[in-house]
Amino acid sequence: MLFAHGFGCDQNMWRYITPAFEKDYRLILFDYVGAGKSDITSYNPERYSTLQGYAQDVLDICETLNLKDIIFVGHSVSSMIGLLAAIEKPQLFKSMIMVGPSPCYINEDGYSGGFEKSDIEGLLETMDKNYIGWANFLAPQIMKNDDRPELGQELTESFCSTDPKIANQFARATFFSDNRNDLSKLQTPALILQCSDDLIAPLAVGDYLHEKLPQSTLNVMKAKGHCPHMSEPEETIKLIQEYLPETA
């Protein structure tokens, strides 16, 4: 099982669910360049201007560790990063677990991604001007679960620990990405874990993915917010465990 964290996060965010799988699977966790304890000197603005650069990182990890029969678990934007990697090297991947995925965040005619283009542009402008303020404002809204403020605080701290310039470029690569035309190319079975109330990936996005991904299973979770592996780990574990035997 290869776990890939989302924007503004790091591999530590998986700590609530990985113990449930460590007896049955070899677990691989990593930080993208600029996140967690990664080597920031390895950052290349050109490489990481699109999600394809991050997908190449995933493939590099697979090659270096000689991985095969991979169950890829991607949170948020990493779901599409994993999709791109699996399209390029389908022989490596056994199944995809997509946690809060979205192929396109911007509303267009006939498609509801959750944001207007002006919303995204305003978000990125705020990041440029006041990154810490932006993180403190947005992270709790992304996490939801206001009755457990420590969750939003952890996400805020994770955002704030990321290099602002790298975070801004990753945000641009994420929020301006459009992988809708790539969905039909995926040969790997996929589980879509859709939260019931998610600012980043609304319900319509999960329905769209389920319709367009050739071999997909959609589970709408009771969990609210965009990080169910942190806020509702037991539900997340249960749904993954129920799905995996189907794709064994």
| 10 noted as active-site residue | no
Cα gap 32→21, rounded to integer Å? 22
| 210 noted as active-site residue | no
Cα gap 135→200, rounded to integer Å? 15
Q: Considering only CA atoms, which of 12, 17, 4, 79 is closest in space to residue 237?
A: 17
Cα gap 232→198, rounded to integer Å? 13
- Catalytic residue chosen out of the listed positions 10, 57, 76, 216: 76
Question: Is the Cβ–Cβ distance between 97 and 90 less than 8 Å?
Answer: no
- Catalytic residue chosen out of the listed positions 5, 75, 226, 229: 226
Cα gap 103→134, rounded to integer Å? 24
What the block records as the tokens of 194 is 């859709």
User: What is the crossing angle of helices 164-175 and 131-143, to 10°?
Assistant: 50
- Catalytic residue chosen out of the listed positions 198, 216, 229, 231: 198
| 226 noted as active-site residue | yes
Question: Is the Cβ–Cβ distance between 196 and 203 less than 8 Å?
Answer: yes
Q: 111 exposed, middle or buried (CB, 10 Å; 0-12, 13-18, 19+)?
A: middle
Q: How many CB atoms lie within 10 A of CB 211?
A: 10
Residue for token pair 């979770």? 221
What the block records as the tokens of 33 is 């360049």
CA atoms within 13 A on the CB side of 235: 17
Task: Return the active site residues.
Answer: 76, 198, 226
